[in-house]
Amino acid sequence: MNILIYRYNSICEDAVIRGLKELGHTVYEVILEVENKSPSGQEILDAVVMGMEKSNADIIFSINYYPALSEIARVYKLLYYSWIVDAPVLELYSKTIKNRCNRVFIFDSELYREISVYNPYNIFYLPLAADCDFYQNAIRNASLSDVEKYTHNITFVGSLYTEKCPYDKVKNLSPKISGYLHGIMKAQEKIYGYYFVEELLSDELVDEFVKNYDGYYLAGEEDLLTKKRTLAQFYIGNKITAMERVDTFKYLSEKFEVDIYTASDTKEIPKLKNHGTIMTHTKMPIVFNKSTINLNPTSKPIRSGIPLRIFDLLACEGFVLCNYQSDLLNEFLPGEELDIYSSIEELEEKIRYYLSHTDVCREIAHNGYEKVSKRHTYPLRLEQMFRLGEHRRR
């Protein structure tokens, strides 16, 4: 097929393109949003239509969902393939999600169950994938100095979410509502496997939050996104992620030497060893491979899914210790291919065990790598995607 891929510089776009080409497809890239993060609808239309004409595209493809691309595909009678890799993706609640040209693939089974009712023939559950060959090549090419520099006992690579937490911009909430929301968030922070926040938000509470938030994200009149769902997933979900990560690393850094690679401000966690940012495609794989334990506290808006970071870690043959996510149990064996925790106390206990049994870490990491290299590569996953998409009606 001739595939037009609309890019915004997602970490996995290059891997998707390599996978598509390995399967024999021809790929044409539209990079408008790589260079301009806020293109107008007309600019997107012009760039995509020009790309369609140059490539003679059979389908349009993107990482995450773009309502504008769905509409272009509908008008030009093409299929639009969208692979959801993040959460929340509020664009999924656009009225365009019902377009029959869509082939939407969602990595989180809970989100899939919620969204698929709007277009049941054309929305699918599909886990993410691992780019094993690319990451292993980076590891093989590591210098001795890099190996020494990036070898750690306990590591986390990623954001603490403190710098991208829109919840913190709300002003003048009443003490009653502010306290109630804080209580909900502290409770949800400790619960894995079930996201209950939306159920506990009254219409009156949501209205007060919106009233006191300048620039609250509002969907179009015909869209499916409610103010309550936006508050639960986007504002509160990201805030809980920030709270959990700060609390987790404060707790762990008091008991262990913990190394973190992040642009987030960690001044409030003085014992955490912050190395700043790291080059994603060249140095990060070395960290993953050489760390005894790679921590992965999952962003709370990912309700059940396996985040992309876990596939990246396993592709680097890194040992993964992550929080419980129900979809994990469908693809991996805890204690054999990675390991999971359900509380901060269990996390501490497992860290102590694995630091004194590093041979077990390496064995589990190898098993995890063997699993993803045989069953979860991008070419394999893309083949699954196209098989599912072909069997659905337009």
Question: What letter does residue 273 receive in the DSSP assignment?
Answer: E
- pLDDT recorded at residue 37: 86
Half-sphere exposure of 307 (CA within 13 A, CB side): 23
pTM of the model: 0.96
Distance set, CA 80 to CA 76, 99, 115, 209, 353 (Å) = 11, 9, 16, 36, 47
- pLDDT recorded at residue 164: 86
- pLDDT recorded at residue 394: 45
CA-CA distance, 341 to 4, in Å (whole number)? 41
Return the closest-CA partner of residue 98 out of 125, 71, 127, 72: 71
b vs e for 75-105, b when ≥16 Cβ sit within 10 Å of the residue's Cβ? eeebbbbbbbbbbbbbbbbbbbbebebbbbb
- pLDDT recorded at residue 65: 98
CA-CA distance, 335 to 134, in Å (whole number)? 26
Residues of the chain predicted below pLDDT 70? 391-394
Widest pairwise Cα distance in the chain: 60
Dihedral over Cα of 181, 186, 187, 193: its sign: positive
Dihedral over Cα of 274, 240, 8, 169: its sign: negative
DSSP-based helix, strand, coil % in the chain, nearest 5:
50, 15, 35
CA-CA distance, 303 to 346, in Å (whole number)? 20
CA-CA distance, 244 to 160, in Å (whole number)? 9
CA-CA distance, 298 to 310, in Å (whole number)? 9
**What's at 90, amino acid-wise?**
L
- pLDDT recorded at residue 392: 58
**Which residue intervals of 66-161 are DSSP H helices?**
67-76, 109-115, 132-140, 144-149
- pLDDT recorded at residue 222: 84
